């Protein structure tokens, strides 16, 4: 009986430490985010979406706290409905809206990361579960896996450069699970093509969008018109 109590006490202590450690990591990331009121940067977007062929494109991104975000570019592009670049920062800011816990440790690109799970406290939240891989040594979000009610799971992988002090990535790769895009031959009048084999029609595949940022400009207090102008 004593042994059992001892084990339970150790587990509880570990749990409390994990909670505290996750809060420390999040606090450090929020401290870096807090240094940024707004930013803009050049962006080079590459798309690898099943059933969609499109060339890379250049544009400019604009962000203003708390969550105003826009990509300005001439042309058509695809973005996840819940843009992680817009949401991840603000998701962690309100520390009262979620509980966090470290569920394990993993090594990503040679960095030891804590896997921090974020569980919303309210029932009305769009978020179901957020998993953040946070570098232990220099707290930065290296990878995320956000599961929401309406838009499934979106994964991001971040690479940091000179803007790591603001927790702003140099490259972000967004990975989403989706079904391959397909249209009927009748609708497209595409007589020369053979229909795709049925086996592949319902398979889920991974779509990737990678965004490489350059020439970051922090806290320049740019006009709000950047979010609305044509």
Partner 1 sequence: MKEFIAIFKNELVKTMKRPRSFIGFAIISFVCMVLQAAFYQDGKELLSMVTSQFEQVFSVQGNVLNGNLICFIILQTLIVQMPLLVAFVTGDTISGEAASGTLRFLLTRPASRTKILLAKWLSGLLYTLILLAILGFFALIVSRWIFGEGDLVALNSDGLTIIRAHEINWRWAAAFFIAFLSLSVVATYAVMLSTMMDNSITPIVTVMVTIIVFTIIGLFDMPSFDLIKPFLFTTHMISWRSLFEDPIPWNVIIQSCSILAIHIMLFLGIGIYYFKRKDIQS
Least Å distance, CB 203 to partner 1, is 14
The answer to the question of residue 183 lying near partner 1 (CB under 8 A) is yes
Q: Measured from the CB atom, is 24 or 57 closer to partner 1?
A: 57
Q: Measured from the CB atom, is 24 or 178 closer to partner 1?
A: 178
The answer to the question of residue 130 lying near partner 1 (CB under 8 A) is no
3-class secondary structure, 224: helix
Q: Measured from the CB atom, is 140 or 176 closer to partner 1?
A: 176
Q: Tell me, letter by letter, the H, E, C secondary structure of 13-31.
A: HHHHHHHHHHHHHHHHHHH
The answer to the question of residue 68 lying near partner 1 (CB under 8 A) is no
The answer to the question of residue 75 lying near partner 1 (CB under 8 A) is yes
Least Å distance, CB 227 to partner 1, is 13
The answer to the question of residue 51 lying near partner 1 (CB under 8 A) is yes
Least Å distance, CB 37 to partner 1, is 25
Query: Rounded distance, CA 203 to CA 201, Å?
Result: 6
What mask of x and - would describe binding to partner 1 in positions 134 to 163, judged by CB under 8 A? ----------------xxx-----------
Phi-psi region of 75 (alpha: psi -120 to 50; beta: other; left: phi over 0): left
Q: Measured from the CB atom, is 186 or 229 closer to partner 1?
A: 186
Least Å distance, CB 16 to partner 1, is 38
Q: Which of 108, 180, 210, 226 binds partner 1 (CB under 8 A)?
A: 180
The answer to the question of residue 176 lying near partner 1 (CB under 8 A) is yes
Residues comprising the chain, all counted: 230
Query: Rounded distance, CA 34 to CA 23, Å?
Result: 16
Q: Measured from the CB atom, is 84 or 139 closer to partner 1?
A: 84
Half-sphere exposure (Cβ direction) of 73: Cα atoms closer than 13 Å: 18
Task: Return the closest-CA partner of residue 41 out of 196, 205, 168.
Answer: 168
Task: Return the closest-CA partner of residue 114 out of 131, 89, 92.
Answer: 131
CA dist list (Å): 203 to 171, 198, 200:
29, 10, 5
Task: Return the closest-CA partner of residue 90 out of 116, 127, 115, 48.
Answer: 127
The answer to the question of residue 4 lying near partner 1 (CB under 8 A) is no
- Site residues, partner 1 (CB under 8 A): 49-55, 57, 71, 73-81, 150-152, 176-196, 207
């Amino acid at each position: 009986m004593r042994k059992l109590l001892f084990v339970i006490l150790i587990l509880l202590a570990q749990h409390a430490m994990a909670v505290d450690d996750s809060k420390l990591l999040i606090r450090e990331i929020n401290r870096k985010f807090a240094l940024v009121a707004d930013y803009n940067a050049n962006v080079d977007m590459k798309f690898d979406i099943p059933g969609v062929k499109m060339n890379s494109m250049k544009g400019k991104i604009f962000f203003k706290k708390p969550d105003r975000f826009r990509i300005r570019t001439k042309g058509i592009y695809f973005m996840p409905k819940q843009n992680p670049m817009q949401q991840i920062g603000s998701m962690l800011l309100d520390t009262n809206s979620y509980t966090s816990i470290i569920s394990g440790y993993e090594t990503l690109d040679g960095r030891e990361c804590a896997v921090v799970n974020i569980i919303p406290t309210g029932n009305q939240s769009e978020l179901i579960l957020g998993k953040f891989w946070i570098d232990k040594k220099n707290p930065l979000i290296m990878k995320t896996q956000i599961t929401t009610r309406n838009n499934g799971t979106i994964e991001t992988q971040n690479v940091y450069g000179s803007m790591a002090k603001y927790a702003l990535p140099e490259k972000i790769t967004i990975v989403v699970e989706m079904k391959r895009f397909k249209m009927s031959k009748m609708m497209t009048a595409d007589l020369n093509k053979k229909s795709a084999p049925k086996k592949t029609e319902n398979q889920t595949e991974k779509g990737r969008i990678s965004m490489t940022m350059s020439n970051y400009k922090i806290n320049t207090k740019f006009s709000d018109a950047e979010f609305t102008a044509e």
